[in-house]
Structure 1
Amino acid sequence: MASESAASHPPQQPRPSGSSSPADLAYDDSRPVRPMVPRSRDEPHRVATPLELFFDLCFVVAVAQAGRELAHDLAESHLAAGLTGYLLAFFAIWWAWMNFTWFASAYDCDDVPYRVTTLVQIAGVLILAAGVPRMFADHDLTLSVIGYVVMRLAMVTQWLRAAAGESGQARTVALRYAVGITLCQIGWVVVLTLPESTRPDVIPLGVLAELSVPVIAELRTQTTWHPHHIAERYGLFTLIVLGETVSAATIAVQSAVDEHRALSELIPLAAGGLLICFSAWWIYFARSVHEHLRSNRQAFLWGYGHYLVYGSAAAIGAGLEVAVEHAVGNAHISATAATATVTVPTAVYLFTVWLLHSRHTKSGVAQVLAPAAAVVVLACTAFGDDGVLAAGLVSALTVALGVALHAREGRR
């Protein structure tokens, strides 16, 4: 980790004597407003800034809301409604976070206008989070869409500012982003005016349009995102989401313990949940992946795939809440269904991390460990009340085997 001063500001670029080019001024901490110029893909010691970390923490509030509502619906056996609401809410959270992250990697000048615009995005995600319960309970999208549009229009102002400092093809890319995002937000506002019965047919089109904007904008020229910085940013958000999962499970166990109910059933659940979360962390960070992110072709697939990584990681926490609710007799589902709320997202997480990470950085038997573990974790669902602990043991065994194989490979 870089020193505190290095993390507090973008790294200073060496300045030739007497130079006052836009690139130099962009990193002049004494200026409250600096030119928004592209950062170098080869910039040394590029790390996440305190503003980016604060941004992540605010976004995880919305993640927690979505997970809490998912847990409630699953415990009440409202599977279809719960999954639909969760997938939509999580898409809005993840997509706004991801767009800011890639933009910041290319254009973060960390001046006053940049920070204020980021504050507006944070306000937007808090509005979205406040609307999540209504989205689940009443299918009322109004507040969530308002929050989402606030976040995305703030992103438009960032792209317009980037376009003002660019020229040629880079300027075209920035303007494409600004126009594409704006059109999508108009579409979401229109969705609010449609009858509720038609929304399920229209919303997927809006999601597809949002996903298409970066692909179209960077069709011929890619922005100057920093591979190591992007890998670090995604890793940090993975940590925060896993932390929220642990927090959700801890609160659920604490509530049950306070009621002095089902203590013998809670200990295996707590142990299994902790093993799953620890293994999820270990497997994600087993190898560095930034060297794989060489172009948009690899990076887009990797970045988009994290929707499943983050979504499944947060859903594990929701599942652990449901498993605790079932243990104390408050969930209206079977033991097998309660266990599935943990084992299914765990299996999705293991398989997706393998798809995005392990298959690029490992070989031989080590490469198939994660997908094989995903299958075995799914099979643990059949154990009912003991399935969460079994899934945790399988996850931990997968980590142990991975470490042993890596050590043997090192000796060779």
Structure 2
Amino acid sequence: MRSERLTDRLFRQRSPHGTPVTPFELFFDLVYVFAVTQLGHGLAEHFTVAGAAQTLLLLAAVWWAWMYTSWTTNWFHPDHVAVRLTLVGVMLASLVMAAAIPSAFDGRGLWFAGAYAAIQVGRSLFVAVAARSHPLGPTFQRILAWHSFTAVLWIAGGLADGPAGAVLWTAALALEYAAPWHGYTTPFLGRSHPSEWTIDAEHMAERCRLFMLIVLGESLLVAGATFSGAQPSAGRVAAFLSAFTAAVALWWIYFHRAADAAGERIAASGDPGRLGRSAYTYLHVPVIAGVIVTAVAVKTTIAHPTGTVTAGTACAILGGPLLFLAGHLLFTRAVFGHLSRSRLLALAALAALGLTTAIATPLMLMGGAAAVLLSVAAGELRGGEG
């Protein structure tokens, strides 16, 4: 009985209007501002196929660590001392993980892997013990089992040199990303069903909106810092304005209607756990990746607005908006049940811009991409199809 009363105090009290994000959750996110900055800088310095693949792997790990913590605070109240102390530990490990990002494949792999494993196993252990008398207790026990198993792969990858480490990390992430789809099926412990995951959809939507603001803020910081450190010219001014326009358009597309409406739709659905898993846990990955790649494009374009368009430059300038729009298209399809014509047309327009790379400058491509994003944002403002 005493453990049940403790569990009741640890869990959030649900509200029909959703529970608000607490100041401590905002404080927690500051660590991931640093992580996003590290990912963007790393991609900008190693914008090759191998560098992009490595950044994608690291982004997937960073997102997974943050997302599982957001699911945790969706159930557990971060103002309870035990929960808050656990989150402080996660913050410290997250800071170490973020600090290791630039050298994760070159000398600090064990630091990155050890911090990531500590985040996932430590947090999972806490919730499994705290919720042992709660209906969600078996689910948390299965999650702990999966994270304990993949932690071995993470540590082994951190100890390995060269491609072997990347292979082990990729295998670990593949197992972790697949686990929610099959309900964390575990020998002797059975499996979970999304219908059991009674999430607060409004809270989850707000957490993802805040993370989106983090990555959009990084794009603006990159634009300002690059423009500040470069010799002013007409081309750089135009590139700076294009970058700002693109950032505003990205914000408008994400926040104007779909962000708020999605939380309401998921909360009203018959299976919010399943829909929240698809819409937020998985389909936000390309959305976030698209903004990070766009930040890299902004840096390149402002620094060299009239230079030659290389394959890497074209991939950054057009690939960022492509990833964002494709992810947002899938997100709105999952939540609202329809494919947005405006986003499909925008994807086609970005692909068409790719045919001009032989004659275009980075500024021309950035201006074209910004115009495409602005047209989608304008459709949102007119109240057309989302």
TM range (shorter): 0.7 to 0.9
Alpha-carbon distance in structure 1 between the residues aligned to 2:84 and 2:311: 48
Which of these two proteins has the greater Rg computed from alpha carbons?
1
The answer as to whether partners of 1:336 and 1:384 remain within 8 angstroms in 2 is no
Aligned runs of 1:43-192 on 2, under 5 Å? Answer: 43-74=16-47, 79-108=48-77, 110-135=79-104, 138=106, 140-166=108-134, 169-192=135-158
Match of 1:229 among 203, 211, 215: 203
Q: 1:323 offset after TM fit, Å?
A: 2.0
Q: 1:362 offset after TM fit, Å?
A: 8.5
Q: 1:274 offset after TM fit, Å?
A: 1.1
Alpha-carbon distance in structure 1 between the residues aligned to 2:338 and 2:53: 37
TM-score normalised according to structure 2 size: 0.85
Alpha-carbon distance in structure 1 between the residues aligned to 2:152 and 2:159: 11
Match of 2:292 among 284, 309, 314: 314
Q: Number of matched residues?
A: 363
Alpha-carbon distance in structure 2 between the residues aligned to 1:360 and 1:245: 27
Q: Which residue of 1 aligns with 2:305?
A: 327
Alpha-carbon distance in structure 2 between the residues aligned to 1:73 and 1:109: 37
1:125/1:363 Cα in 2 relative to 1: closer, same or farther (>3 Å)? Answer: closer
1:21/1:87 Cα in 2 relative to 1: closer, same or farther (>3 Å)? Answer: closer
1:405/1:173 Cα in 2 relative to 1: closer, same or farther (>3 Å)? Answer: closer
In structure 2, what residue type is equivalent to 1:279? A
Query: Which is worse superposed, 91-100 or 153-162?
Result: 153-162
The answer as to whether partners of 1:271 and 1:392 remain within 8 angstroms in 2 is no
In structure 2, what residue type is equivalent to 1:225? I
Match of 2:330 among 355, 378, 393: 355
Q: What whole-Å deviation, never above 9, does each CA across 1:155-187 have from its counterpart, x for those lacking one?
A: 123322333342xx5221121112221221122
Alpha-carbon distance in structure 2 between the residues aligned to 1:97 and 1:247: 22
The answer as to whether partners of 2:113 and 2:157 remain within 8 angstroms in 1 is no
The answer as to whether partners of 2:127 and 2:140 remain within 8 angstroms in 1 is yes
2:160 matched to 1:194? yes
Alpha-carbon distance in structure 2 between the residues aligned to 1:171 and 1:361: 31
Q: Give the SS at the match of 2:131.
A: helix
The answer as to whether partners of 1:380 and 1:388 remain within 8 angstroms in 2 is no
In structure 1, what residue type is equivalent to 2:92? A
Q: 1:361 offset after TM fit, Å?
A: 4.2
Q: Which residue of 2 aligns with 1:380?
A: 353
Q: Any stretches of 5+ residues in structure 1 without a counterpart? A: 1-19, 27-33
2:176 matched to 1:210? yes
The answer as to whether partners of 2:18 and 2:200 remain within 8 angstroms in 1 is no
1:279/1:84 Cα in 2 relative to 1: closer, same or farther (>3 Å)? Answer: same
Q: Give the SS at the match of 2:198.
A: coil
Query: Which is worse superposed, 369-378 or 63-72?
Result: 369-378
Q: 1:67 offset after TM fit, Å?
A: 0.5
Q: 1:38 offset after TM fit, Å?
A: 6.0
1:328/1:151 Cα in 2 relative to 1: closer, same or farther (>3 Å)? Answer: farther
In structure 2, what residue type is equivalent to 1:141? G
In structure 1, what residue type is equivalent to 2:361? G
The answer as to whether partners of 2:10 and 2:80 remain within 8 angstroms in 1 is no
1:292/1:335 Cα in 2 relative to 1: closer, same or farther (>3 Å)? Answer: same
1:269/1:164 Cα in 2 relative to 1: closer, same or farther (>3 Å)? Answer: same
Q: Which residue of 1 aligns with 2:276?
A: 299
1:110/1:271 Cα in 2 relative to 1: closer, same or farther (>3 Å)? Answer: same
TM-score normalised according to structure 1 size: 0.80
The answer as to whether partners of 2:74 and 2:200 remain within 8 angstroms in 1 is yes
Q: 1:100 offset after TM fit, Å?
A: 0.6
Q: Any stretches of 5+ residues in structure 2 without a counterpart? A: 185-190
Of all paired residues, the percent bearing the same amino acid is 22
In structure 1, what residue type is equivalent to 2:192? L
Alpha-carbon distance in structure 2 between the residues aligned to 1:269 and 1:179: 50
In structure 2, what residue type is equivalent to 1:92? A
In structure 2, what residue type is equivalent to 1:316? T
What is the Cα-based RMSD across aligned positions, in Å?
2.6
In structure 1, what residue type is equivalent to 2:215? V
2:361 matched to 1:395? no
Q: What whole-Å deviation, never above 9, does each CA across 1:282-332 have from its counterpart, x for those lacking one?
A: 111223101332323322221211111111112211221122333387xxx
Alpha-carbon distance in structure 1 between the residues aligned to 2:90 and 2:300: 32
Q: Which residue of 2 aligns with 1:245?
A: 219
Alpha-carbon distance in structure 2 between the residues aligned to 1:92 and 1:363: 30
Q: Give the SS at the match of 2:196.
A: coil
2:10 matched to 1:36? yes
